[in-house]
A = this chain, B = another copy of it.
Amino acid sequence: MTPPDVDALVFDVFGTIVDWRSGVIRDGQRLDESNRLEVDWAAFADAWREEYQPSLARVRRGETPWRNLDSLHRESLEKLLDRFDIEGLTDEETHQLNRVWHRLDPWPDAIPGLNRLRSEYLVAPLSNGHVRLLTNMAKRAGLPWDLILSAELSGHYKPDEEAYLTAVDLLDLQPEEVMMVAAHERDLDASSKVGLKTAYVHRPLEWGPEQARDIEKPNGSAYDIVAEDLVDLAEQFGSEPMI
């Protein structure tokens, strides 16, 4: 296969690059130990993430002015603390728990794959996470981005077209010179609609071992590339391993 002729690859982050579910469970369980809580943090993580699209949708419909993910996550968190009967957290503990989305670990293939791709292409996140969140995450985890792109730079959350087109504009490229890489068809379908190339990355464990969505890889013809993970993506681009 000849890889698509692009100059830059932009990546969805939550689920595609980092494993948000394990990160929330990990930091939640630390709170159990220090606060003698007994919470089903896997259920908590899933419930928090389930609040995500409805929160974004309220901003996208203009029901609330632009608010960053810390603010949207915090609003959902307050509801969930109540729903899961979690009591006794200090303000600082609640603040730190809300910031767990800055401290998520990459899937094991993410950094090796990105390092291979970045030798030939510009690589950047293009997430609904805000610039500071993505910067903190990259710095902590060592994600080798060339620059940080974010929906925040357009004032519109994905899948609004402004989010993709602002990124293309800042890269000083045309839409067809940029590839969107994501584990979610909705993100790719919206990218494709405004002219970006697309790569689907299969993340069957994003929602844990019992995941019920995105478990089947989509029909290859819908996207320019369908990849098992980021190392496979780099291989399909013909990028050489560094060692």
| Residues of A that sit less than 8 Å from B by CB | 68, 70, 122, 130-132, 134-135, 138-139, 146-148, 152-153, 170-172
Q: A122-B139, A131-B172, A135-B171 are in contact. List 9 more A-B contacts (CB 8 A).
A: A122-B135, A130-B172, A131-B170, A132-B170, A132-B172, A138-B146, A138-B147, A146-B148, A153-B153
Q: Are B139 and A146 in contact (CB under 8 A)?
A: yes
Nearest B residue to A149, CB-CB: B131
Given contacts A122-B139, A135-B146, contact A152 B130 (CB under 8 A): no
Q: What are 14 A-B pairs with beta-carbon distances under 8 A?
A: A68-B172, A70-B172, A122-B139, A130-B170, A131-B147, A131-B170, A132-B170, A132-B172, A135-B171, A138-B146, A139-B146, A146-B148, A148-B148, A153-B153
Task: Tell me the bound Cα distance from A131 to B124 in angstroms.
Answer: 12
Which residues from B are CB-within-8-Å of A131? Answer: 147, 170-172
Q: Which residues of B contact A122 (CB under 8 A)?
A: 135, 139
- The minimal Cβ–Cβ distance linking A144 to chain B, given in whole angstroms, is 11
A147 cross-chain contacts in B, Cβ below 8 A: 131, 134-135, 138, 147-148
In the complex this chain forms, how many copies of it are found? 2
Complexed CA–CA distance, A170 and B147 (Å): 13
Q: Is the interface of A mostly helix, strand, loop or mixed?
A: helix
Q: Within the assembled complex, what's the spacing in Å between the Cα atoms of A152 and B172?
A: 12
Report B-chain residues with C-beta under 8 Å of the C-beta of A139: 122, 146
| A159 CB, min distance to chain B CBs, angstroms | 22
Q: How far is the CA of A179 from the CA of B171 in the complex (A)?
A: 26
Q: Looking at the assembled complex, report how far the CB atom of A167 sits from the nearest CB atom of chain B, in whole angstroms.
A: 10
Name, among A122, A131, A147, A148, the residue most crowded by chain B CB atoms within 10 Å (CB to CB): A147
Complex formed: what's the CA distance from A130 to B169 in Å? 11
Select from chain B the residue with minimum beta-carbon distance to A122.
B135
Separation in Å of the A76 CB from the closest CB of chain B?
A: 19
Q: How far is the CB of A121 from chain B (nearest CB, A)?
A: 10
